[in-house]
Amino acid sequence: MIVKLNDHASPAAQSAILEALARQDYTTRRVSLPFGDFIVGLGDGAGDTTTLAALESVAWARRGAERAVLAAIDASPTRTEVPLGRTSIGGTALAVIAGPCSVEDRDQIRTCARFVAAYGATALRGGAFKPRSSPYAFQGLGHEALEMLAEAGKTTGLPVVTEVMEPGEVGPMAPLVDCFQIGARSMQNFPLLREVGRAGKPVLLKRGPSSTMKEFLLSAEYVLLEGNPNVILCERGIKTFETATRNTLDLNAVPVLKSQTHLPVVVDPSHGTGRRDAVIPMARAAVAAGADGLIVEVHPDPARALSDGDQSLTLAQFRTLVEEIRPVAEAVGRRVEATPVPNFGEPRTSGRRRGTGWGAGD
Amino acid sequence: MIVKLNDHASPAAQSAILEALARQDYTTRRVSLPFGDFIVGLGDGAGDTTTLAALESVAWARRGAERAVLAAIDASPTRTEVPLGRTSIGGTALAVIAGPCSVEDRDQIRTCARFVAAYGATALRGGAFKPRSSPYAFQGLGHEALEMLAEAGKTTGLPVVTEVMEPGEVGPMAPLVDCFQIGARSMQNFPLLREVGRAGKPVLLKRGPSSTMKEFLLSAEYVLLEGNPNVILCERGIKTFETATRNTLDLNAVPVLKSQTHLPVVVDPSHGTGRRDAVIPMARAAVAAGADGLIVEVHPDPARALSDGDQSLTLAQFRTLVEEIRPVAEAVGRRVEATPVPNFGEPRTSGRRRGTGWGAGD
Amino acid sequence: MIVKLNDHASPAAQSAILEALARQDYTTRRVSLPFGDFIVGLGDGAGDTTTLAALESVAWARRGAERAVLAAIDASPTRTEVPLGRTSIGGTALAVIAGPCSVEDRDQIRTCARFVAAYGATALRGGAFKPRSSPYAFQGLGHEALEMLAEAGKTTGLPVVTEVMEPGEVGPMAPLVDCFQIGARSMQNFPLLREVGRAGKPVLLKRGPSSTMKEFLLSAEYVLLEGNPNVILCERGIKTFETATRNTLDLNAVPVLKSQTHLPVVVDPSHGTGRRDAVIPMARAAVAAGADGLIVEVHPDPARALSDGDQSLTLAQFRTLVEEIRPVAEAVGRRVEATPVPNFGEPRTSGRRRGTGWGAGD
Amino acid sequence: MIVKLNDHASPAAQSAILEALARQDYTTRRVSLPFGDFIVGLGDGAGDTTTLAALESVAWARRGAERAVLAAIDASPTRTEVPLGRTSIGGTALAVIAGPCSVEDRDQIRTCARFVAAYGATALRGGAFKPRSSPYAFQGLGHEALEMLAEAGKTTGLPVVTEVMEPGEVGPMAPLVDCFQIGARSMQNFPLLREVGRAGKPVLLKRGPSSTMKEFLLSAEYVLLEGNPNVILCERGIKTFETATRNTLDLNAVPVLKSQTHLPVVVDPSHGTGRRDAVIPMARAAVAAGADGLIVEVHPDPARALSDGDQSLTLAQFRTLVEEIRPVAEAVGRRVEATPVPNFGEPRTSGRRRGTGWGAGD
């Protein structure tokens, strides 16, 4: 049960609401968000909205058992813009989050960061803790990678986005991270959602590969209920019968989610296709569909990447991606901020393949 | 087994090839296509390409059991442009095929045709024979509808596209039809594919809701094997677990198919979403992904449509669609031909709902 | 709209119903089935059941737009038993339909028929017209195969079940066929469903690989509406993301369909798994779930099969299958009729692989 | 990389292996399991099995990047039997794990435990921490529920199985739990898998709703790599397009997994169908397919259940389930241990519905 308070709800009025919720067998919580103050009843209560709506200072009361309420579009009068670095996600400017699947060494992440910063990225991604289907696959360099990533971010001025896999790591990671990524496999890791909610930093929440949009928004609701409004939804493909691509990128989710929530929606064409040759066309498509940004894997030398080499763009391809999405963004009333720097130069790539063919998680 | 002949292959050389195939237990057929002359071996033969490739006048010999060969991108040096009306599909100009799900009466199809012609359609769609999951649902007006459609096409100068459901109808329908649509449920109706192959007219082949891209191309191969190169592939959404949309539009198929075949690829955002509010964003996305055209359902009064009302655009929305895809098309180096006519006027829509909620086939 | 007549409905009462339906804009049809006489209104009518139910001689009136009505369990007071050969499908005795994927030659089908007859089959399957994803794959021997199949059926006393792929073949095939199979790819080939409905012979209707149970029953409804009650539903696996098996056999469909329809339900573990080693366990599971029978692929020499070799049982394995389902059948109150003949003998199998690895349709 | 040691491998031989792995850039670990001692190389190493296999005391060396090795059937000469309470899972006796979705109060779990113990359960399930798609739904009574569950287990002599959702809870829960359940949503929660691996207790690992069997086995491998061989795999349904059931129970997984792994496989027909009326038939089917056991939801009063009421059996239905699986078990050479106690009595159920319709996780 969610009760929205009117502005200037008196302490007495709030107490009355809390008591009414308790009488209906709810556990109560106050939630303060930029678009309102709420009193929430959790658990299996009586579900009587009428009595609650009639109380003083109550703007509305809604049941939330099956649909997100705080994340729903009518909870907020304006679309949420999530601040990240010098920009925000959800406004006119497109977010372009780029970087390697995994941070592999100091040189790799520095090179990558400088390049993507020069050619239009607004944030830097890089995995330190990698969920891998196989325990034998490379699992990330851990805390060491986090420091390299943070350093690369600081040098280039890019905020950093990286995945957190367990509640106990949220606290230790927080000082080095600008935005926590919740990977697709963790979309319904509820203790983790609560913990990143409490940390207060922006959260990039990836859609689970077999999750409906309704379930996706309910996972966002877990974060919002901790008083953290800064959730960026990320469509990254769903599991289907098709084997020509790693996942089926569900761009339908862009207009449908935008009609159902005030939260920004970005798209990951790297995991959504699993094929380097499809990433740029699908990045253009995502922008045309109305996405608020992109998150793409870029590697100085994809053939040697320790994970996700097949779907990582080269640095030159990333530059092409930005060049190609710019006019599409303009065609739909958006803009790509960055001014590409000509002749930045690009490291040579070698031929030898490292790492496993097995795709890494996200 | 597919054997490509060199130019000017002598009759003697051709006989030798036919004999070699027969010795390998194949049933043979000659196939002439704009991009080459072929001798094809069907059935369960020995699969010895080496012997065949060594024969005189043989450009190459390929096994075709598991992958399309004639539809494959390397079978033709150029992309296929399918002629349709005054334009073609697969060139720089985007195809915009628009019209109602079903032809319901003379007035409806006339109104719709004039409007879509004025605002940028390059072809007119309209169902005369409707595959419906339920036998109780409206199944189309049949031959009567075909005549209305043909008349509306003639009046507006638009070529007409309509679905054929059974082999026996191909002949009778041919004089009134410019392009046969093979619906999603018929993608693997092989007798029907052969029959439209023989008819020689352009074929708009819709992807089956549970068909992989590989199977999709193999179905196109059935048509090409009849000597008909004019196949337009249409991505229209696949069946997944997601229930917020009628199907999951798989735009990944656009770049992936374009990398695998020389045939043009169009997208149906109406069936691919099932939601009117998502059709225009996904039409933009399809164009940005590199589609060669769109096929969209438009109805003068969707609330009264006998089928697919929920996903049909109003006439005004169709106009918006064309206006919105134009700059996206330009951003990707394509163009939308038509010059919108201002203040064309639009019929008023009424409120009463006709027809069933059950979606109609495609 | 479906109107059930009371017994002895007078001609005058029937006329009144027909007129009432016509006034509601329906096209009308009389349907006589073992469980009642019906007047049906097709198309997009007004849907007013109240007026109809109030007429004389009307037992009930139901709308049928979104759900099957004649196939629904409450349309008939008893479960339908479909007569086939000397037995029937849907009673206490389990149907065991067995035979090769394709009829390949006279010897193969004869050997197979004699063996499966001796070990417990109640009907003989064998493909004459094979839907194949690839036009290059073996497509069946056609009419010649039909005659071989019919002869093998006559010799062994087994009724024959074979697939029909197009409406125009129903008439020519009828004299040689005891039960028409509608393959999975044809489940929504509505002209074909109508035609086999009219032919009056039993119809084995396979579930489409992306069809819901609701759509499955609506396809059965097409056949029933032609006055043909003898529809056998066949679960044969659906398309999912899992690649370890060819399809995902959805045994949930057995109890769910049995709770929704009076028609018998059989299971095809051959296509439902695509793996020979999983066929027998899943056959046992199907029987335990409550299936009315099985349809399995058996080949004297699977390694040389022209289609579906990977999922075909050897003759010895078929014998094991029957031995293993017998006690399971008894555990759920059913019985397997046949008395296995000891030491029947079994042809030797050779090693050479013929045919393509590409699975054949069903 | 996994290296299996011969019996009596000398310390010197082991050191040589460790050094060889380190030279190939692996992080090493020793793993001792009932079926052998192993030295494992984790991470992105050179993958040179030849050099390793040639070393002294090496039985074999296998790469493990894409397939489970320790969980694979050829890693162990015998099938693993997981000890649980007085019995084990994976032998001739079928495991029957039964109990409510959630522990709701002391009386509910006691009643349930006594009843299922009397009628044939071999273990007691009950949720204390419930993953719920919606944050507003009942999330379990937590530690209080654990104590009630443990008490009910002690009273009845049944070992208890309950879900753990985060690594930090494994330690605190361990004293009260006989078997940790890893829920479907947590199948790829790798930190959690490692933690329950270290705890050493049996682990019931549920298949993720969009996970392939290959991924399922790789998740089991995470647990085995911690030296814990006691993993019970649980098929509980996958996400598909079908909406008549909550999930599609993939019984194909039973024979396929049993052919690929030595670990026992149980089936959850409650989550696998989501419909009370389908649970018993699918329980029979699971046993017939060769499952080593069942896990079913049972509630004294399903209409008042706080979660999963729609799929919970009544106590009387549980009794029927055991009666019906017994002869099926015997038909496949297994047995159901318990002797049903006649006239145990059964609490009356009331009518009022509590809880939400929204299904609870597993």
For C324, how many CA atoms within 13 A lie in the half-sphere containing its CB?
Answer: 21
Per-residue pLDDT reduced to its tens digit, B142-156: 999 999 999 999 999
pLDDT, position B307: 82
**Does the distance separating the beta carbons of B243 and D240 come in below 8 Å?**
no
Give the Cα separation of B37 and B10 in Å (integer).
12
Chain B residues touching D240 at Cβ < 8 A: 241
Task: Name every chain A residue with its beta carbon within 8 A of the beta carbon of C239.
Answer: 241
- D212 and chain C: CB distance < 8 Å anywhere? yes
Residue C167 in contact with partner chain B when CB distance is under 8 A? yes
Q: Which residues pair with D98 in a beta bridge?
A: D124, D296
| Alpha-carbon gap, residue B242 to B236, rounded angstroms | 15
Is B353's Cβ below 8 Å from some Cβ in C?
no
Q: Look at residue B302 and tell me whether its pLDDT is greater than 70.
A: yes
pLDDT of residue A6: 95
Q: Inform me whether the C-beta atom of residue C353 falls under 8 Å from chain B C-beta atoms.
A: no
- Residue scoring higher pLDDT (A338 or A348): A338
Residue B248's DSSP bridge partners are: B238
| CB count in 10 Å sphere of residue D321 | 24
By the 8 A CB rule, do D296 and D269 touch? yes
Residue B127 touches partner C, C-beta closer than 8 Å: no
| Rounded Cα–Cα distance for residues D191 and D181 (Å) | 15
Q: List the single residue in D with minimal CA-CA distance to B210.
A: D241
Query: Among residues D144, D142, D173, D141, which one has the least CA distance to residue D160?
Result: D173
Q: Is the minimum CB–CB distance between D50 and chain B shorter than 8 Å?
A: no
Handedness of CA A273, A275, A281, A284 (dihedral sign): positive
Q: What is the pLDDT of residue C305?
A: 85
Residue C338's pLDDT is what?
63
- For the record, the structure tokens of A36 come out as 């309102």
Is the Cβ of D252 closer than 8 Å to some Cβ of chain C? yes
- Non-local CB neighbours of B192 within 8 Å, separated by 6+ positions: B164, B165, B166, B167, B170, B182, B186, C166
Answer whether D134 touches B (CB < 8 Å): no
pLDDT top residue among B6 and A337:
B6
Mean pLDDT of all residues in A316-321 = 96
Is the pLDDT score of B353 beyond 60? no
> Which residues have a Cβ under 8 Å from the Cβ of B280 and sit 6 or more positions away?
B269, B313, B317, B320, B321, B324
**Sign, Cα dihedral of B254, B260, B262, B263:** negative
Distance from CA of A25 to the nearest CA of C (A): 37
Q: Which residues of B touch A286 (CB under 8 A)?
A: 285
CA distance, residue B17 to nearest chain A CA (Å): 34
Please answer whether residues D109 and D149 qualify as being in contact, where contact means their C-beta atoms are separated by less than 8 angstroms.
yes
Contact B244 A272 (CB under 8 A): no
Residue A333: pLDDT band by 50, 70, 90 thresholds?
very high
Segment among B40-49, B92-101, B335-344 with least mean pLDDT: B335-344
Chain C touched by D267 (CB under 8 Å): no
What are the backbone dihedrals phi and psi of residue D260, each rounded to the nearest 5 degrees, phi first?
-110, -20
Nearest residue on chain A to C247, judged by CA atoms? A241
Q: Which residues of C touch B139 (CB under 8 A)?
A: 42-43, 190
Give, in order, the Cα–Cα distances in Å from A40 to each of A4, A24, D296. 9, 12, 33
pLDDT at C276: 95
Let me know: does D287 contact D334? Beta carbons within 8 Å. Answer: yes
Look at residue A206 in the predicted model and tell me its pLDDT: 98
Assess contact for C307 and C359: CB atoms under 8 A.
yes
Query: Would you say A16 and A58 are in contact if contact means Cβ atoms under 8 Å apart?
Result: no
| A290–chain B Cβ distance below 8 A for any pair | yes
- Selecting from C44, C166, C191 the residue whose C-beta is nearest the C-beta of B355 gives C44
What are the chain A neighbours of B289 within 8 Å (beta carbons)?
A: 281-282, 284-285, 288
Out of B262-271, B340-349, D43-52, give the one with best mean pLDDT.
B262-271
In angstroms, what CA-CA distances link D345 with B60, C204, D112, D118, D300? 79, 46, 12, 11, 12
Average pLDDT, chain A: 92
Q: Distance (Å, rounded) from C-alpha A131 to C-alpha A134?
A: 9
Q: Which of A116-130, A334-348, C204-218, D205-219 has the weakest average pLDDT? A: A334-348
Res C353: pLDDT: 44
Q: Which residue ranges in chain C fall short of pLDDT 50?
A: 340-343, 345-358
Q: List helix spans (H) across chain B.
A: 11-23, 49-53, 106-119, 143-156, 167-173, 190-199, 213-224, 253-260, 269-273, 276-289, 315-331
Q: Does A123 contact B at CB distance below 8 Å? A: no
**Radius of gyration over every alpha carbon of chain C, rounded to an integer in angstroms:** 21
Q: Are D38 and D76 in contact (CB under 8 A)?
A: no
The amino acid sitting at A251 is L
Task: Give CA separation, C103 vs C162, C169, C171, in Å.
Answer: 10, 18, 20
Residue C18: which residues within 8 A CB-CB, separation 6 or more?
C28, C39
User: A1-41 pLDDT, tens per residue?
Assistant: 999 999 989 999 999 999 999 999 999 999 999 999 999 99
Tokens 């394709």 belong to C102
Mutation target to probe the B interface, by most B beta carbons within 10 A, among A210, A235, A242, A321 is A242
CB D274 within 8 A of CB D246: yes
Q: Do D239 and B241 touch (CB under 8 A)?
A: yes
Does residue A238 sit at the B interface (CB-CB below 8 Å)?
yes
Nearest by CB: B282 against A255, A282, A284: A255
Residue C290: which of D248, D281, D327 has the nearest Cβ?
D281
Provide the pLDDT confidence category of residue A361 given band limits of 50, 70 and 90. low
What does the pLDDT read at residue B129?
Answer: 95
Residue contact C134–B221, C-beta within 8 A: yes
Question: Which pLDDT belongs to residue C341?
Answer: 47
D245-279 confidence digits (pLDDT tens)? 999 999 999 999 999 999 999 999 999 999 999 99
Residues on chain B touching C354 (C-beta within 8 angstroms): 44
Is residue A84 pLDDT above 90, yes or no? yes
Q: Nearest residue of D to residue B244 by CA position?
A: D241
Mean pLDDT across D131-144: 93
Q: Which residues contact B52 (CB under 8 A, 6 or more apart)?
A: B1, B3, B17, B20, B21, B58, B61
Strands C123-125 and B160-163: unpaired
Which residues of chain D neighbour C286 with C-beta distances below 8 Å?
Answer: 285
Please tell me if residue A241 touches chain C, with a CB cutoff of 8 Å.
yes
Instruction: Determine the pLDDT at residue C64.
Output: 78
- Comparing D340 with B195, the larger pLDDT belongs to B195
Question: Nearest-CA neighbor of B307 among B268, B261, B259, B270?
Answer: B270
Cβ distance D166 to A221 less than 8 Å, yes or no, reads: no
Residue C133 at interface with chain A, using a CB cutoff of 8 Å? no
CB-based burial label for A357 (10 Å; 0-12, 13-18, 19+): exposed
Q: Are A294 and A286 in contact (CB under 8 A)?
A: yes
Mean pLDDT of B293-314: 91
Question: How big is the CA angle at D6 (ends D5 and D11), to the nearest 5 degrees?
Answer: 70
Flag if C64 and B208 touch (Cβ within 8 Å): no
Q: What is the rounded average pLDDT of the residues A265-285?
A: 98
Show the DSSP H helices in chain C as ranges. 11-23, 49-53, 106-119, 143-156, 167-173, 190-199, 213-224, 253-260, 269-273, 276-289, 315-331
Torsion region of D192: left, alpha or beta (phi above 0 gives left; psi -120 to 50 gives alpha): alpha
Q: Look up residue C339 and give its two tokens.
A: 């008395």
**CB-based contact, C244 to chain A, within 8 Å:** no
CB of B335 less than 8 A from some CB of A: no
Asked whether the beta carbons of residue B251 and residue A254 sit closer than 8 angstroms, the reply is: no
What are the distances in angstroms from CA C147 to CA C173, C174, C176, C202, D362?
10, 12, 7, 19, 54
pLDDT of residue C131: 93
* ipTM of predicted assembly, 2 dp: 0.93
Residue D80 is given by DSSP the state -
A243/C240 Cβ within 8 A: no
Say whether residue D239 is in contact with chain B using an 8 A CB cutoff.
yes
| B320-345 average pLDDT score | 82
Per the CB < 8 A criterion, the answer to whether B191 and C166 are in contact is yes
Q: What is the pLDDT of residue B350?
A: 46
Interface contact flag, A133 D64, Cβ < 8 Å = no
The helix/strand/coil state of A87 is strand
For chain D, strand residue ranges (E) read 2-5, 27-33, 36-42, 58-62, 82-84, 87-89, 95-99, 123-125, 160-163, 179-182, 203-206, 231-235, 265-267, 293-297
Burial of A320 (0-12, 13-18, 19+ CB in 10 A): middle
